[in-house]
Amino acid sequence: MTTRDQVEVLDVVLGSGCTFAAYRLPGGPLRIVAQHRAALHQVDLKAEELVKDSFVIVPFDRSGSRISYISPDVPCHDPLQVSRDLEACESSVPSPGPRVIRDDPAVHQAIVQQAIEAIAAGGLRKVVLARSTCEDLPEKAIPALFFSFLEQYPSAFVCMVRTPEHGLWCGASPERLMHFRGNELYVDSIAGTLPLDRAPLHAEAWDEKERDEQDLVTQHVERILATIGPVRTIGPNVLPAGPVAHLHTVCTTRTDLRTATSVLEKLHPTPAVCGTPRRAARAFIEQHEPLDRGLYAGFWGPWHGDRGIDLYVNIRCARLFHGRAELFVGGGITAASRPEREWSETERKAATWRGVIASLSSSRIS
Q: Which residues contact 260 (CB under 8 A, 6 or more apart)?
A: 178, 180, 185, 309
Distance of CA 337 to the CA centre of its chain: 23
Spatial contact of 185 and 253, defined as CB atoms under 8 Å apart: yes
Catalytic residue numbers? 126, 175
**What is d(CA 114, CA 285) in angstroms, rounded to the nearest whole number?**
11
Q: Classify residue 122 as exposed, middle or buried by CB count within 10 Å of its CB (0-12, 13-18, 19+).
A: exposed
Average pLDDT value for the chain: 89
**What is d(CA 162, CA 18) in angstroms, rounded to the nearest whole number?**
8
Q: Which residues contact 264 (CB under 8 A, 6 or more apart)?
A: 45, 177, 178, 311
Tell whether the model's pLDDT for residue 96 goes beyond 80: no
**What is d(CA 178, CA 256) in angstroms, rounded to the nearest whole number?**
13
Q: How confident is the model at residue 226 (pLDDT cuts 50, 70, 90)?
A: very high
**What is d(CA 314, CA 361) in angstroms, rounded to the nearest whole number?**
25
Tell whether the model's pLDDT for residue 97 goes beyond 60: no
**What is d(CA 320, CA 132) in angstroms, rounded to the nearest whole number?**
12
Of these ranges, 65-74, 241-250, 325-334, 345-354, the one predicted with the greatest mean pLDDT is 325-334
pLDDT at site 187: 94
Please indicate whether residue 243 or residue 324 has the higher confidence score (pLDDT): 324
- CATH architecture of residue range(s) 3-47+60-91+100-363: 4-Layer Sandwich (3.60)
Q: Which residues contact 296 (CB under 8 A, 6 or more apart)?
A: 60, 130, 132, 314, 315, 317, 319, 328, 330
Tell whether the model's pLDDT for residue 36 goes beyond 80: yes
**What is d(CA 49, CA 261) in angstroms, rounded to the nearest whole number?**
12
